Amino acid sequence: MNKAMLTVGIIILSLATLLMINIITNYSSGSELDYYLVKETAEAAMIDAVDIKYYRENGLLRVDKEKFVESFLRRFADSVDNTRNYQVAFYDLNEVPPKVSVKVDSSTVLSFNGDNLEMSTTLDAILENTYNSDPLVTNELKDPESDFGKAIE
């Protein structure tokens, strides 16, 4: 009887260990996958949301907020799997210069005592251009009627 109970105990302990390893691996790899998914999705959505007309007229990059949010959510929804629950929040959306701050909370269907374990992924992204000088600032500095032109004189 003693050896049988020892065998059952070892089997139960090994199953519990495998379950814990599976949970820890799921959360650690899930966090890394979420980060890269948010990073690539934000980069592609920012490029999609660039206002070409504004860029042609002024030489500055400008991102349309609504277009960015729509593109981000569409791309993100296409890339995620159904084993997690996601909550996406946008904190800082600047059009000029283009900067976005995105926070994605994800949790699996597994819960302990009715509480889901959530992982948060936060990303701040800035879209840059290779221009040497800002044409709007240059024009403002040259204009004697502007506030900048008056400050220089």
**Token digits of residue 25:** 């691996």
Q: What does the pLDDT look like over 48-59, one tens digit per residue?
A: 888 888 877 777
State the pLDDT at residue 79: 84
Please tell me the pTM assigned to this model.
0.65
Pick 141 or 54 by higher pLDDT: 54
Distance CA 53, CA 25 (A): 47
22 three-class SS: helix
Chain segment 39-98, per-residue pLDDT in tens? 999 999 998 888 888 877 777 788 888 999 999 999 998 888 777 788 899 988 888 888
